[in-house]
A and B are shown apart, each in its own frame.
Chain A
């Protein structure tokens, strides 16, 4: 119950903070849809039963859309169906004239009809979502529509050439690859603006996150198109089986990923309930760390590790007998800070799967630059201490900031703490990280 409330709040927040790029995208898509529907209304629907079957498939796919890691909304069945409709060459051998190309009845719909059918299917499929109170994500829907439009506009004019199967398949392959790139490009642009990441990094993240699903969707789209062309509409239903299996698998994967993060988030609160740290400390540090990491150009995978490490950075305190007074590790002695980090890393290593996270936590207590006096023996003085990983440096700064500011929204206090961190930087804190913190803090909405 509570989780749905939280989700609803987050969605509303996403809706309210639509950026200009997204607005442009949605407006263009809207205009496109209006033109397409007007055109189809004027010229009439060609081969209506095929259009209706594909429309139903798209609507169903939209009904079963899902959210992939990184809050990406996808609807693989709808996308595959719509792209399959755009790539459709014919509608089966039944009743075909003997001299017909490929021996099938040719499909006659125009690119604009593809857009119209897709948009109507998507709207119908979204209705149940709206009825149960899930607000739609117009940017994601617009992006899906654009992808389909690219396929339709590039491929349908080719049909007049009367190519043989092999060439047709090659052209289909080219077009779907092109559409994948469009999809990833638009998604990266939206994302770069929404989370304030650099475009190059957002693009790489999108490619990493989407490539597999894109390939599966495209292959199924071609499969649908070829099968319907060769065997008629009845084949369509069986030939959506591969994408159903894929959708099921990805859904499961996304679900488990989300649960994992939820579990770590929830259990990072044991330190708060145990009275070791202030309420909300772990969560604030993780939010701050992720914002700083993004500012410093970390990729999504690194950000996930950073988030885990930030959430669990105080878990080592559980092994201490009594909580540190006030819970602020920044005020504890360096040796004690280091012990907490070591104990925490030990706990995280126990999982057997989060070794990199453990490494980050372990080094998050180390100063940015270690002077020779800080090292153990005189013999080691010549060897410079390793610089902690970026994620560790970020957590150190975020932790210090939150320990000193807490959940107070007082900007003067924040500024004073920042000044103090700046004074300590170069030895204790990494100056670039402190600057990233100052930019992140500056951007926060004023209370």
Chain B
């Protein structure tokens, strides 16, 4: 937070001053201080263990539940005071200006939400009356939406002014955040509803399952990371034999994701294509090493062995359940739009979308990597080759998308291969991925 721009400093000071003014001018005659103390404790416990959403940096904590319970139980002034307790949060950042801003921000959100709740008539009902839930749900929803809106807007302001985030990504992330906040906020109503009967024990009953859910989510996250790491390591193991193709899977995966995002695929499909790109060549292991190492033309049988590798790959990964759509991508990544590819000779739209994406990334990485029979081509040369193959080999939509993404994000080609000095190094002489140097098959020079 050091080196904050002047505008951000002014903004933070303004928010803090506003919160201070609101608290200074409110009257606290009706506030139940024991309730406030217990809720503040609850708030701090929840705030010290924020949940991890899949958005980087952003964390939603269950403290939203405590705040909203405060809105119902304590009224606007009490909720503002409750928000102030964020000043002493147990989260591990100690910058005083961050704490001040957080406290002020929660106080303001709580005050606004409380005001809306009272305006909509929520304070006229008491949980011990009959039909309390039905009566209070409307005002509560109003208060909840206000709370989340004020909270997100104040946060967005500081992130924008301190240039920690661009407006575009903020919009993208706040959608997810808002859902998490609204969900957690609803829990506040549950706590408030049970409070008159069983006191703070209501919070235990409500929050215990949520903390366990949080723990399970964290476990799931850890497992997912482990899964991705294991997959990458195993793919790497498959590649280690050939110095020239090391890292190929990783880069094809990256390229495929670039295209997928550019053409606006859904997040779960992007995730699937990430794995598909990684796994697209595992079947190459089924191609005898001597075929890959052969220099000169291949016989028909040897070419057939190479053509079979997508099927062998499919054979390996078929049982991985999450890959449903990705399987088609792996199997058909060597089909060409003109129908002259393999293994099935599909053409145009018959080729699955995943396969058309992977095909472009695959060819591009192959061309920009060093091969035993040629040096790496430059990105510009490879782009020209992709353009030449548009509509013939590649799907023009995918190529265009890739080139746009390339312009924006750039591409880091693999470092030149340095072969170790000993003689045992194995290198391949045949690269089936390279569209600029098609496999040479004896007796059929025209095959491409």
Chain A residues engaging chain B, CB cutoff 8 angstroms: 2-3, 6, 92-95, 103, 165-166, 169, 212-213, 215-217, 219-220, 222-223, 226-227, 230-232, 234-235, 238-239, 241-243, 245-246, 248-250, 252-253, 256-260, 262-267, 269-270, 273-275, 315, 318-319, 321-322, 347-348, 350-354
Cβ–Cβ < 8 Å partners of B209 in chain A: 215-217, 219-220, 223, 242-243, 245-246
Q: Which residue of the partner chain, among B224, B229, B316, B319, contacts A351 with CB atoms under 8 Å?
A: B229
Say yes or no: A246 contacts B213, CB within 8 Å.
yes
B residues 209-245 with Cβ under 8 Å of A?
209-210, 212-217, 219-220, 223-227, 229-234, 236-238, 240-241
Find the B residue at minimum CB distance from A253.
Answer: B220
Distance in angstroms between the alpha carbons of A253 and B222 in the assembled complex: 9
Say yes or no: A319 contacts B319, CB within 8 Å.
no
Cβ–Cβ < 8 Å partners of B219 in chain A: 253
Q: Does B321 contact A (CB under 8 A)?
A: yes
Question: Which size class do B's interface residues fall under?
Answer: 35 or more
Say yes or no: A231 contacts B133, CB within 8 Å.
yes
Say yes or no: A270 contacts B234, CB within 8 Å.
yes
Find the B residue at minimum CB distance from A105.
Answer: B130
Q: Which residue of the partner chain, among A165, A169, A230, A260, contacts B227 with CB atoms under 8 Å?
A: A260
Q: 16 A-B pairs, CB-CB below 8 angstroms?
A: A93-B129, A94-B130, A165-B197, A212-B212, A223-B209, A226-B194, A226-B205, A230-B193, A245-B209, A246-B212, A256-B224, A270-B285, A318-B240, A321-B241, A347-B234, A350-B233
Find the B residue at minimum CB distance from A323.
Answer: B289
Q: Which residue of the partner chain, among A2, A93, A231, A270, contacts B193 with CB atoms under 8 Å?
A: A231
Distance in angstroms between the alpha carbons of A400 and B133 in the assembled complex: 67
Find the A residue at minimum CB distance from B234.
Answer: A267
Distance in angstroms between the alpha carbons of A226 and B196 in the assembled complex: 12
Q: Which 8 A-B pairs have the closest CB atoms?
A: A94-B130, A350-B233, A249-B216, A274-B285, A242-B209, A353-B226, A253-B220, A216-B209
Chain B residues engaging chain A, CB cutoff 8 angstroms: 127-134, 183, 186-187, 189-190, 193-194, 197-198, 201-202, 204-206, 208-210, 212-217, 219-220, 223-227, 229-234, 236-238, 240-241, 282-283, 285-286, 288-289, 312, 315-322, 424, 426
Q: A3-B321, A270-B282 are in contact. Are A263 and B227 (CB under 8 A)?
A: yes
Say yes or no: A212 contacts B216, CB within 8 Å.
yes
Distance in angstroms between the alpha carbons of A360 and B195 in the assembled complex: 53
Distance in angstroms from A29 CB to nearest chain B CB is: 27
Find the A residue at minimum CB distance from B137.
Answer: A238
Say yes or no: B316 contacts A169, CB within 8 Å.
no
Q: Which residue of the partner chain, among A92, A213, A249, A350, contacts B130 with CB atoms under 8 Å?
A: A92
Distance in angstroms between the alpha carbons of A203 and B321 in the assembled complex: 30
Say yes or no: A216 contacts B212, CB within 8 Å.
yes
Q: Which residue of the partner chain, among B201, B226, B319, contacts A262 with CB atoms under 8 Å?
A: B319
- For A238, A264, A274, the residue with the greatest tally of chain B CB atoms inside 10 Å of its CB is A274
Distance in angstroms from B182 CB to nearest chain A CB is: 11
Using A246-B213, A347-B234 as known contacts, list a sample of 4 further A-B pairs with CB atoms less than 8 Å apart, ordered by residue number in A. A250-B216, A259-B320, A260-B227, A270-B237
Distance in angstroms between the alpha carbons of A257 and B318 in the assembled complex: 18
Cβ–Cβ < 8 Å partners of A166 in chain B: 198
Distance in angstroms from A235 CB to nearest chain B CB is: 5
Say yes or no: B216 contacts A347, CB within 8 Å.
no
Say yes or no: A263 contacts B320, CB within 8 Å.
yes
Distance in angstroms between the alpha carbons of A3 and B324 in the assembled complex: 10
Say yes or no: B289 contacts A315, CB within 8 Å.
no
Cβ–Cβ < 8 Å partners of B213 in chain A: 216, 242, 245-246, 248-250
Cβ–Cβ < 8 Å partners of A256 in chain B: 220, 223-224, 227
Say yes or no: A347 contacts B236, CB within 8 Å.
yes
Say yes or no: B237 contacts A269, CB within 8 Å.
no
Say yes or no: A273 contacts B127, CB within 8 Å.
no
Find the B residue at minimum CB distance from A357.
Answer: B230
Cβ–Cβ < 8 Å partners of B319 in chain A: 2-3, 6, 262, 265-266
Distance in angstroms between the alpha carbons of A94 and B315 in the assembled complex: 64
Cβ–Cβ < 8 Å partners of A222 in chain B: 205
Cβ–Cβ < 8 Å partners of B214 in chain A: 249
Cβ–Cβ < 8 Å partners of B224 in chain A: 256
Distance in angstroms between the alpha carbons of A318 and B285 in the assembled complex: 9
Say yes or no: B227 contacts A315, CB within 8 Å.
no
Distance in angstroms from A169 CB to nearest chain B CB is: 6
Q: A216-B212, A263-B320, A266-B317 are in contact. Are A321 and B236 (CB under 8 A)?
A: no
Q: Which residue of the partner chain, among B194, B286, B316, contacts A230 with CB atoms under 8 Å?
A: B194
Cβ–Cβ < 8 Å partners of A274 in chain B: 285-286
Say yes or no: A321 contacts B234, CB within 8 Å.
no
Distance in angstroms from B313 CB to nearest chain A CB is: 8
- For A92, A215, A262, A351, the residue with the greatest tally of chain B CB atoms inside 10 Å of its CB is A351
Distance in angstroms from A340 CB to nearest chain B CB is: 12
Q: Which residue of the partner chain, among B193, B212, B225, B241, contacts A235 with CB atoms under 8 Å?
A: B193
Cβ–Cβ < 8 Å partners of B205 in chain A: 219-220, 222-223, 226
Distance in angstroms between the alpha carbons of A210 and B134 in the assembled complex: 36
Q: A350-B233, A353-B225 are in contact. Are A241 and B186 (CB under 8 A)?
A: yes
Distance in angstroms between the alpha carbons of A252 and B213 in the assembled complex: 10
Distance in angstroms from B291 CB to nearest chain A CB is: 12
Cβ–Cβ < 8 Å partners of B233 in chain A: 347-348, 350-352
Say yes or no: B237 contacts A232, CB within 8 Å.
no
Say yes or no: A273 contacts B316, CB within 8 Å.
yes
Say yes or no: A347 contacts B198, CB within 8 Å.
no
Cβ–Cβ < 8 Å partners of A234 in chain B: 131, 133-134
Say yes or no: A350 contacts B236, CB within 8 Å.
yes
Say yes or no: A273 contacts B190, CB within 8 Å.
no
Distance in angstroms between the alpha carbons of A434 and B334 in the assembled complex: 48
Q: A231-B133, A234-B134, A257-B223 are in contact. Are A216 and B208 (CB under 8 A)?
A: yes
Find the B residue at minimum CB distance from A213.
Answer: B212
Say yes or no: A321 contacts B424, CB within 8 Å.
yes
Distance in angstroms from A153 CB to nearest chain B CB is: 23
Say yes or no: A318 contacts B237, CB within 8 Å.
yes
Say yes or no: B204 contacts A353, CB within 8 Å.
no
Cβ–Cβ < 8 Å partners of B230 in chain A: 260, 263-264, 351, 353-354
